[in-house]
Amino acid sequence: MELRKCFILVLTLLVVTTFQANVHGEIYPKRPPLPVETHRENQKIMVVVKKESFTDFKKKVKESAGLTIHQTYQNVFHGFSIEGPEEKLKKLTSDSAVLHSSLVVSYTSHIKESVPFIGGEDVRGLFDQGNRRLTGKGVKIAVIDTGVDYNHPDLSRNYRGGYDFIDGDEDPMETTLKGNETIHGTHVAGIIAANGKLKGIAPEAEIIAYRALGPGGMGTSDQVIAAIDKAIKDKVDIINLSLGNAVNGPDWPTSLALDRAVESGIVAVTSSGNSGPGVWTVGSPGTSAQAISVGASSPPLRMPYLKISGVKELIQMNGMQGAKPWEFTSLGKIVYGGKGEKHELDKTMRGKMILIDRGGITFTEKVLNAKEQGAKAVIITNNVSGNFSGALEIPLKIPVVSISKQAGEMIKKRIKQRPVVRTIYKNEEDKLADFSSRGPVTTTWAIKPDVVAPGVSIDSTVPKGYLALHGTSMAAPHVAGACALIKQAHPDWSPKQIKASLMNTATPLENDRREKLKPNEQGTGRINVKDAIEAEVLIYPGSLTFGQYETSHPRTKKTAVLTVDNQSDKSQVITFKPPSKKAGIQWKLPHRVTLNPGEKEKVKISMDLTPNQMEPGIHQEWLQIEQGTDTIDLPYLFVVDEPNYPRVMGFELTYGDHPDTYKYRMYLPGGAEEMGIALYDPDTLTFVGFLDWQKNAPKGLIEKEIKKEDLDVKANLYKAIIFAKKMGQEDQIEVDISLIE
């Protein structure tokens, strides 16, 4: 009997480009093409062949002396990556079976930009207490992920063992099972501590690999918690968790496990998630109160924008991984090519940019079809709101970008007018990534993420090569590496002090109107490693939450306690700047605090609020604390009435702990006046019955075991609608479940 698990709560990798088929039918690479350094006498090419010629062509290559097949593809298309002498490869590509061929290309090393951007290279001129340069030497970092390719030349010197919680042995190598290979943990480890062709943030830190996510990059909370538990037992200094789920709650087990790790003296760093830009999108373990939750920003990049004649707004583009970079400087023309099917394209499109809708067929097929018709470039427009990032299965020598659904619809309206297109380039940095998850955390109303770090186009190590990826998965290891440098410089600092040093010295990000982004979007801002190491005064916690107020309640006063910590060898004077006056809020702040060298002092900050003078919803701003010529921005947040967070999150159905039982889990951030799991026929959508239903459900994790004999079900597959209602708001999750054989 097989039960289909609805792994909504399964911890997944927080990288924007996922390597699985998605609901739109596009197949992303299960293993992206890896850059390979070719020998002088050899080249490596990617060849796509006719399906009916696949076997004969493969035999021909194998029988040809000097040619080697490295990869074989039979899903999205039929083809090979082949290495050999240039002359033989050229002859091979002229074969009538070949539909397409291109050189295997290398990727630009963006980590060389993100490391110095956050001050990682400036730190090399600083020394620890033993007069050694700051490189992370002696600091143990646990990478809880898909494993690590410890044979990679850039990581082999840093690897110090680990454990595999998937196979139950001491070999935490990345999954190599064909079709389910993983690369994520190696990429994360490289950002932290690569020490070869690439240099990570802390190139001499020790990497301890815990493989908690298996084939395809999937794993469950119990495996991750087991890895956290072992990391505590192994006395690591720092944990990096570049993974997460959809549960925005502080009391989810993985979040609580990270809290315990911090309490044991370990610095815990985790991704905030890739579900932005909406509010409430941060997920566990990024909701951990004591861990450092990290959002994604951009390192210095030269970003192309489309300028359409007659349209004032510039159109933002995301480059497709595996495609040729967008580097146009002249005017161009744009035409519409439907979904990029062969019958929708023709020779009249030669030399033009082709706008293609997302969906129907894979990105690779769309681009190959357009390239065959002589397209100059391909622009893929989203079929749901917002932009997206994607990848091609094979490298193709044609520029390919993605744009938002809104931008695509605007271009389509102007297609008949034959608009002229030009490219405007902007040098950008410190832009918050759209995909970066936003807070706050439900029920505690805590600000998350705590900080942001580069997470766009970050090149790092992967098995047998290098690859650029986007995601908060890439941002978190920047912070983990930074923590290693801080730990080496200040071995006696606690996790709270290390976290405060990063939050207090971060650079706040701004939008295009030069307005500071909200705290729930960026925390305190983008990290500055050197400034964090040289911080003289630490203030923690680095952000404040004053909880929830009801407009029906009278005037209420709440007090928060801050620790002001002088880490310098001289006296320090700290002053608190009163916030601008707002209706309904009165502050009581310490005006001036004087600290002797090495002295700490606890101070109280009180907020007196009259709720009925405030609008319902989230309220957030900044307190400013001045230390000499420096200013520390301390974000604060509170909510009025019941905000519009999702009423139900993350649903999981598995076998129960007893024979012939099932167990479901769901998370209700604020409880529910009514909740249920309604079952429908997947074909007719006829209501069948309830798997469960109840009123006045408590807040937090809901778990229940259901006996098979109590279920009045006769079919195998059902469409389940999980719903919860509270304060006039109802939210739903829709999944397919299988209950009986």
Which DSSP string do the residues of 418-450 spell out, in sequence order?
--EEEEEEEEE-SPBPTTS-----TTT-----S
Q: Which residues of the chain does CATH 3.50.30.30 include?
A: 301-428
**What's the pLDDT at 46?**
66
Is the model more confident about 176 or about 100?
A: 176
pLDDT of residue 8 exceeding 50, the answer is: no
Contact 350, 420 (CB under 8 A): no
Of 540, 560, 450, nearest to 497 by C-alpha is 540
pLDDT of residue 401 exceeding 60, the answer is: yes
Strand pairing category for 537-540 and 556-566: antiparallel
Could you list the active site residues?
A: 145, 184, 473
Q: What class has domain 301-428?
A: alpha beta
With b for 16 or more beta-carbon neighbours within 10 A and e for fewer, the 269-305 pattern comes to: bbbbbbbbeebbbbbbbbbbbbbbbbbbbbbebebbb
**What's the pLDDT at 463?**
92
Residue 684 zone, left/alpha/beta (φ > 0; ψ -120 to 50; rest): alpha
The answer for residues whose C-beta is within 8 angstroms of residue 319's C-beta and 6 or more apart is 325, 326, 399, 400, 401, 457
pLDDT of residue 563 exceeding 90, the answer is: yes
Q: What class has domain 36-103?
A: alpha beta
Tokens of 617: 């919803």
Of 461, 650, 533, 595, nearest to 10 by C-alpha is 650
The architecture of the domain spanning 111-295+433-512 is 3-Layer(aba) Sandwich (3.40)
Classify domain 536-640 at the CATH topology level: Immunoglobulin-like (2.60.40)
Computed over every residue of the chain, the mean pLDDT equals 86
Give 308's strand partners: 421
Of 214, 229, 244, nearest to 147 by C-alpha is 214
Q: Which residues of the chain does CATH 3.40.50.200 include?
A: 111-295+433-512
pLDDT tens readout for residues 325-338: 888 888 889 999 99
pLDDT tens readout for residues 132-159: 999 999 999 999 999 999 999 999 999 9
Is the model more confident about 386 or about 614?
A: 614
**What's the pLDDT at 221?**
78
Determine the residue type at 391.
A
Give CA–CA dist 363/393, Å, rounded.
8
Is the model more confident about 687 or about 447?
A: 447
pLDDT tens readout for residues 586-629: 999 998 999 999 999 999 999 999 999 999 999 999 999 999 88
If you search the block for the tokens 């129960």, which residue do you land on? 656
User: What is the DSSP secondary structure assignment for residue 516, as one 8-state letter?
Assistant: B
pLDDT tens readout for residues 37-56: 333 457 777 677 888 888 99
Q: Which residues of the chain does CATH 2.60.40.4070 include?
A: 649-738
**What's the pLDDT at 715?**
62
Identify the CATH number of the domain defined by range 649-738: 2.60.40.4070
**What's the pLDDT at 714?**
67
Q: Which residues of the chain does CATH 2.60.40.10 include?
A: 536-640
* pLDDT-wise least confident of 28-32, 210-214, 401-405, 449-453: 28-32
Check the CA dihedral 491-494-495-496 and report its sign. Answer: negative
Give 620's strand partners: 637
**What percentage of the chain reaches a pLDDT higher than 90?**
54
Average pLDDT over residues 362-377: 92
pLDDT tens readout for residues 211-257: 999 988 888 777 899 999 999 999 999 999 998 888 899 988 889 99
Is the model more confident about 93 or about 490?
A: 490
CA atoms within 13 A on the CB side of 277: 13
Average pLDDT over residues 695-713: 85
Contact 618, 643 (CB under 8 A): yes
Give CA–CA dist 668/654, Å, rounded.
19
Of 77-81, 90-94, 219-223, 497-501, which has the strongest mean pLDDT? Answer: 497-501
pLDDT tens readout for residues 297-307: 988 877 888 99
